[in-house]
Amino acid sequence: MSDPGTVVGVVNAGSSSLKFSVFEDGRSLLDGQVDGIGARPGFRAKDSSGAALTGPPLEGAGPANPADALTWILPWLRSQLGRRRLAALGHRVVHGGAAHDRPARVTLALLDELECLCPLAPLHQPFNLAPIRAALEVVPDLPQVACFDTAFHRTMPEVSQAFAIPFAYAEKGVRRYGFHGLSYEHIASVLPKVAPALADGRVVVAHLGNGASLCAMQAGRSVATTMGFSALDGLPMGTRCGELDPAVVLHFLREEGMSVEEVEALLYRRSGMLGLSGVSSDFRDLLASQEPRARFALEVFVHRVARSVGSLAAALGGLDGIVFTAGVGENAAPIRASICEACAWLGVELDPAANAARAPRITTTSSRVAAHVIPTNENLMIARHTIAALATEGALP
């Protein structure tokens, strides 16, 4: 880590929102977001005590895109720091392609290279990159670091990254990349402290939130994951379908007469828990609902997670532990219980009281496979990476 007092901003930009936080040596000073970008922009932020902060004054209709949003809040962000100095910005970037296995210092050449990956993640990558380019223009002396959701999975063996299509397409980038890497990396970084027995073992980490995926980790390194070429693959999610027979896409195009855009919208935004239940994409609503289809959606989710845990356990050649994280994994005790029960055959013996109390370990002491609940913190990971990347270059005071 760095000298005390290094302050970095963390930026997570999407198509209509820009989330930000400021860390001082691993301690969050403030966080917030601009949402409704391009429509009805709204601003909210709070300091480390949870007190609401008043944002910068709106200029005209407010920021029209995520790049405008960053240049709008940046002077305000600096003004909140008092005598502290903003040393750098760290950005979440969904795609680093096959080449980047770690964060990278932002340069114009890097941005050009990352822009070539936009066709691989058209709904995320352009919105991640635009604010970085804007900041590079407005504050060229402020160092920036790009932290990739794909980087953690570059340790996966080639067999785990390959699709069984003509290999020429792999060379053009059609392969399994995997995502949620910053979350998995955070879990790997805390395992030695919170579950030392698992740190060198075979662990399936279940990042179950609005987006959901599993990662098979061997001694803290990714060997397999459920997401693939895109963040659409793998588990069913809030509104995304997850794993799907590719012939269904062909059927939609050919027999249903749907356009590419319509299929994309259906698979990304109208499927998953929302599509299955017809009720909501939010697990809290589904757990509270009496609708049979809401129950069914949850059953499908648990079934698919449990099946995939089995698949990843096979990739690991056995299983020592399961870690639950993200919104559903950290908070939805009934979902964790059902998944653990469906994984009993692997040696998971749930401790129902510990699970209901959200204890750090939710399996019995005699359980052969230990299940833990560990909060994720992708922003902290980005802050740490940003400081480490700058320290490596001697760019810190």
Q: Is 291 a binder of ligand AMP (CB under 6 A)? A: no
283 near ligand AMP, judged by CB under 6 A: yes
Residue closer to ligand AMP by CB (options 63, 329) is: 329
Residue 272 sits in the site that holds ligand AMP (CB under 6 A): no
Spatial CB neighbours of 110, under 8 Å, sequence gap ≥ 6: 104, 146
CA 177 to CA 258: how far, in whole Å?
28
Task: Write b or e for each residue in 116-143: b if 16 or more Cβ atoms lie within 10 A of its Cβ, otherwise e.
Answer: ebbebbebbbbbbbbbbbbbbeebeebb
As a whole number of angstroms, the distance between CA 289 and CA 285 comes to: 6
Q: How far is the CB of 188 from ligand AMP (least distance, A)?
A: 18
3-class SS letters over 299-355: HHHHHHHHHHHHHHHHHHCCCCEEEEEHHHHHHCHHHHHHHHHHCHHHCECECHHHH
Write the binding mask 331 to 370 for ligand AMP: x where contact by CB under 6 A, - elsewhere: xx--------------------------------------
User: Cβ of residue 344: shortest distance to ligand AMP, in angstroms?
Assistant: 22
**Exactly one of 227, 274, 319, 328 binds ligand AMP (CB under 6 A); which one?**
328
Range 224-253, binding ligand AMP (CB under 6 A) = 238
Among 46, 251, 284, 293, binds ligand AMP (CB under 6 A): 284
Phi, psi angle pair for 18, to nearest 5°: -135, 110
The interface region with ligand AMP, picked from 112-120, 190-198, 225-233, 320-328 by CB under 6 A, is 320-328
Least distance in angstroms from the C-beta of 337 to ligand AMP: 12
Nearer to ligand AMP, 62 or 209 (CB): 209
Say how far apart CA 290 and CA 285 lie, in whole Å: 10
Q: Are strands 212-218 and 221-225 parallel, antiparallel or unpaired?
A: antiparallel
Six token digits for residue 50? 């949870």
Helix (H) or strand (E) holding 33: strand 27-35
Contact 361, 371 (CB under 8 A): yes
Range in contact with ligand AMP (rule: CB under 6 A) among 71-79, 98-106, 125-133, 281-289: 281-289
Which region among 22-30, 127-135, 312-320, 328-336 touches ligand AMP (by CB under 6 A)?
A: 328-336
According to DSSP, the residues that pair with 23 across neighbouring strands are 8, 28
Token pair belonging to 138: 């407005």
Of 106 and 381, which has the nearer Cβ to ligand AMP?
381
- Catalytic pick from 68, 149, 320, 351? 149
Residues near ligand AMP (CB under 6 A), total: 12
- Residues between 108 and 147 with contacts to ligand AMP, criterion CB under 6 A: none
Taking the complex as a whole, the smallest distance from the CB of residue 246 to ligand AMP amounts, in Å, to: 26
Is residue 210 within the footprint of ligand AMP (CB under 6 A)?
yes
| Member of 41, 178, 209, 321 binding ligand AMP (CB under 6 A) | 209
149 included as an active-site residue: yes
Sheet holding 144-148, edge to edge: 42-47, 27-35, 18-24, 7-13, 86-93, 144-148, 104-105
In this complex, which beta carbon is closest to ligand AMP, that of residue 328 or of residue 383? 328
Distance CA 104, CA 277 (A): 41
Binding piece for ligand AMP, criterion CB under 6 A, among 191-199, 296-304, 325-333, 386-394: 325-333
**Which range touches ligand AMP (CB under 6 A), out of 71-79, 246-254, 316-324, 326-334?**
326-334
Bridge partner list, 147? 92
How long a stretch of residues is the chain?
Answer: 397
Tell me the catalytic residues.
149
Contact residues for ligand AMP, defined by CB under 6 A: 209-210, 238, 282-284, 287, 326-328, 331-332
